[in-house]
Structure 1
Amino acid sequence: MAPQPTEDERVILNGMTWQDYERLLADRGDQAGARMAFLDGTIELMRSSFHHEGVKKTLCRLVEAYADERGLDLNGYGSWTLKNALVGRGLEPDACYALGVPGGDLPQLAIEVVWTSGGLNKLDIYRSLGVGEVWIWERGAGFSVHVLRDGRYEKATRSALLPELDLALLQSFVESPNQSQAVRAFREALRGSTGG
């Protein structure tokens, strides 16, 4: 078996139209493949590395464990294709969530893992689409939280959607090599804390 790539693979296509983007999405269909984003005539095709996917899955499991421990109705929607032809923007987040059932065509929270730098400005795409909150976990840097206010993202120290979540505590478990152990330890830490 060939070794897994350690970096994300990214292809950038310039001079593309919205119709090109829609056609690529349709050609791919529901099959697993490269995630796609569209911004200002550029299409990004990205295939995540083994490490990227591991961090993403661990992070999702931790967020879901937090919601379970706190009795929150959190619904996950994976790499839901978010797009709007009127603003000419589209992408597929690493993960996205809504508290309760989403009240429209957008999740309330999108999560991006940046394992390999480069590519399109995803925050600009999310802003144009109107996603209320974006968490970016970047290798070597940890979390940044971006909350949409008055049409612009503001960096925040806490989540607006999950304000009691201690992101530093969450971060301490994200890069664990054993996801199940990380989730169990995170749950224990949450049960031992009063605010969470």
Structure 2
Amino acid sequence: MIVVPQPKEKDAHLTLSGVTWQTFKTLLAEIGEDRACRITYNEGVLEFRMPLQEHEKPKILLGSFIEGIADELEIEVMQLGSWSLKREDLRSFIEPDTCFYIQNESRVRGRTINLDRDPPPDLAIESDYTHSSINKQSIYAALGIPELWRYSQRTLFVYHLIANSYQQQEESLAFPFLPIAEIPHFIEQSDLLGQRSAVRLFRNRIREIFNEQ
């Protein structure tokens, strides 16, 4: 039985180098899905990350905001949380903080998704409270995920995949009407009013935008 070393809470992550893809797959099979840590692997570097409260809250709220937009637009989205994104040919593995099928939701609805044949999620979200030793953007780019959100230091950064690399943009690819600069304010409001109140305020703002159009 393989025992995964637990990162110290103040560091929140542990990195191992020189890990072969086969060793990583064996380790992954041994520790299974029932684990507290999240895992990233790329080019022989393996990282274990322990979610912290400061890390989890923004990604939960961002996910709720997107679901709120979908409800206001009356469209379907599929949120898959920290679903393991893996492709054998890329020798890469990553578990986003959360991810969504939006434009391609109907193509994968009701089926077991296989990234070797199915499109990747349309949007991945990373809440960066601690520094990662792995260039996660390169993994997401290799997987072909069109849009990446990164929340760090009370700022939301939005990236579009252009020519196989991410470029920061002022608007969302999936939701171009979304006021990106305002979103951190709603996340901060959750500390004062509560999470559901913050989500309701956000949805009211979305309705205002729709009424102005």
Common fold: TM-score over 0.5:
yes
Q: How many angstroms does 1:46 deviate by?
A: 0.3
- 2:106 is the counterpart of 1:101: yes
Q: How many angstroms does 1:85 deviate by?
A: 2.1
Q: How does 1:106-145 map to 2 (within 5 A)?
A: 106-140=120-154, 142-145=155-158
Q: How many angstroms does 1:166 deviate by?
A: 1.5
Q: RMSD value over aligned CA atoms?
A: 1.9
Tell me which amino acid in the other structure corresponds to 2:165. Answer: R
Aligned positions, number: 191
SS at match of 1:43: strand
Asked if 2 retains the 8 angstrom alpha-carbon contact of 1:112 and 1:137, the reply is yes
**1:47-76 residue CA offsets vs partner (Å, 9 max, x unmatched):** 110121112111111111112112221110
- 2:177 is the counterpart of 1:161: no
Give 1:20's match in structure 2, choosing from 19, 23, 39.
Answer: 23
Asked if 2 retains the 8 angstrom alpha-carbon contact of 1:9 and 1:47, the reply is yes
TM-score with structure 2 setting the length: 0.82
**1:55-110 residue CA offsets vs partner (Å, 9 max, x unmatched):** 21111111111121122211101111111221221100000001123551521110
Distance 2:11 2:170 in 1: 28
Tell me which amino acid in the other structure corresponds to 1:130. Answer: G
Give 1:148's match in structure 2, choosing from 161, 179, 183.
Answer: 161
Structure 2, gaps ≥5 residues long: 1-7, 109-117
Give 1:68's match in structure 2, choosing from 59, 71, 74.
Answer: 71
Asked if 2 retains the 8 angstrom alpha-carbon contact of 1:6 and 1:51, the reply is no
Change in CA separation of 1:102 and 1:81 when aligned onto 2, cut-off 3 Å = farther
- 2:35 is the counterpart of 1:32: yes
Distance 2:144 2:90 in 1: 11
Distance 1:181 1:32 in 2: 31
Give 2:54's match in structure 1, choosing from 44, 51, 55.
Answer: 51
Distance 2:43 2:19 in 1: 9
SS at match of 1:116: coil
* Runs (4+) off by over 3 Å: 5-8
Q: How many angstroms does 1:7 deviate by?
A: 4.9
Asked if 2 retains the 8 angstrom alpha-carbon contact of 1:75 and 1:101, the reply is no
Distance 1:51 1:102 in 2: 34
Q: Which has the higher strand share?
A: 1
- 2:192 is the counterpart of 1:187: no
Structure 1, gaps ≥5 residues long: none
Asked if 2 retains the 8 angstrom alpha-carbon contact of 1:7 and 1:48, the reply is no
Asked if 2 retains the 8 angstrom alpha-carbon contact of 1:12 and 1:43, the reply is yes
Q: How many angstroms does 1:186 deviate by?
A: 0.9
Which structure is richer in relative contact order (CA contacts within 8 A, separation 6 or more)? 1
Distance 1:23 1:34 in 2: 17
